[in-house]
A and B are shown apart, each in its own frame.
Chain A
Amino acid sequence: DIQMTQSPSSLSASVGDRVTITCQASQDISTQLNWFQQKPGKAPKMLIYDASELQRGVPSRFSGIGSGTDFSLTISSLQPEDFGTYYCQQYDNVPLTFGGGTKVEIK
């Protein structure tokens, strides 16, 4: 199975800050990577697919980059509604696997 390692596991930042979350795959997955946002008690919401493609309706302050084994999600200017837990997920191979999550809190 492909292991996905996210960091940090949590962060606290202020409104307007630039925030970056990283995700590392245990083997080359090309650009077969999604990013999700999950708020407490809610289902995950896709933000980014194919490592860098913005899902329709997602604000442009979210961006993704990477290929191979190293990926990152950046929020260019953190907004109050961006709190929650963020997950990366690879789809290069079954079983699909998720990173452990990054909890984002607003200071």
Chain B
Amino acid sequence: QVQLVESGGGVVQPGRSLRLSCTSSGFIFSNYAMHWVRQAPGKGLEWVAVTSYDGTSKYYAESVKGRFTISRDNSKNTVFLQINSLRGDDTAVYYCARDTSGRIGGRLDLWGQGALVTVSS
């Protein structure tokens, strides 16, 4: 079955760190660029970061640059999002999404179910 499954969400105190994982199945993970997109409660979609198929190219939204790190382990069919210095406005559902291109194209054709991150003391 072709799918993406996120994990690692939860309730975290401000200033702490968290690592989200997104594990794929049913397709050749190493052929595709992968994105993270987030959605704050009741709000719209915000693109966060992308990594190319081989991890050599990475880009970030300005709002997360310097605090978030995207990485991937193609041997484990998994993409990660390391989030440091968490703030209240990081509270959101975080989705991973597959790009139809190996390079960074932007057609997001497959999404995970999302992982909720709540930043609260």
Contact = CB atoms under 8 A, between A and B. Distances in A.
Interface string A42-62: 111110011000010000000
Contacts, number: 60
A55 B109 contact: yes
Interface residues of B, number: 22
B106 interface: yes
Nearest to B106: A91
B44 A97 contact: no
Contact of B95 (A44, A49, A91): A44
A42 B112 CA distance: 9
A98 B47 CA distance: 8
Interface of B: 35, 37, 44-47, 50, 59, 61-62, 95, 100, 104-109, 111-114
Interface of A: 1, 32, 34, 36, 38, 42-46, 49-50, 55, 87, 89-92, 94-101
